[in-house]
Amino acid sequence: MILSEDKIKELIEKKELVIQPLLDIKQIGQISIDLRIGYDFLVSIQGRDPYINASRNKEDEENSIEGVYSINHFFQETRRRIGETILLYPQQTVLSSTLEYVRLPNNIMMSIHTRSSYVRLGLSVNTIIQPGYCGCISLELTNNNKNTINLTVGAPIIQAVLHEVTDKTEYLRKGRKYICQVRPKVSMIQEDNDLSILKEIWKNSRQ
C-alpha cells in the first residue's frame, strides 16, 4: 500500500518517520515527498587503472579493495554550498546524497524516482530504501543526455514514495554495507559475499 499525504504527516508527527530538515511542508505531496540534492559529491573521473574492478576473479584480490584496483581511484571528492551548481557531463555518473536525513519505520520501505522535469533532461536516479534504514539517501546521478546538465545544490530532484510492507523487518539483522551514511560512498561491491563464492567456483574450475 502506498502511503498518502495525511498518513505521511501523521508518521512524521509521531516521530515514527524522520525526515530532517524538512524545509518546506510543500515537499510532502499527495503520495510522495520531494527530496533535495546535498552538498557532497564523488565525481567519476578517468582513472589510471584500465578498468573498474567489479570482480574478485583476480590473483591479487587483496590489492583490489584498497590498493591498485580500488574503486576510489575512479571518483574525486568535491563539495558545494547550497545554491551553487555542479556540472554533470554526458554519460557521467556522480554520487551524492540527499540534503535530508531519513529514518524509516520497520514496516515502511521507500522507492526513489527522478522528478519528471529532470527525467526529461536525461537524468536518472532510481533505487529502493529498505524498511528501518537511517541516514542520508545515496543518489547515483547519471546523465544519459548528450549534453551537460547543470544541477543546483538544494534543488528537489527526486520523489520518494512510501510503501507499507506486510510485516515488520529489522534492517540490521542482515549484514549491511551502507549504514547511517550522511555522505556519498563509492560502491562496496567487492565485499559482496556472492563474489567470494563465485571466485571459489572460478578457482576450482581452473584446477
Kindly list the catalytic residues: 140
* CA pair distance 161, 150, nearest whole angstrom: 25
Cα radius of gyration rounded to whole Å, the chain: 19
> To which H or E segment does residue 111 belong?
strand 108-114
> To which H or E segment does residue 12 belong?
helix 5-13
Whose cell is 537511517? That residue is 134
SS3 94: strand
* CA pair distance 116, 126, nearest whole angstrom: 12
Q: What are the grid coordinates assigned to 48, written together?
A: 589510471
DSSP 128-174: EE-TT-EEEEEEEEEE-SSS-EEEETT-EEEEEEEEE-SS---GGGS
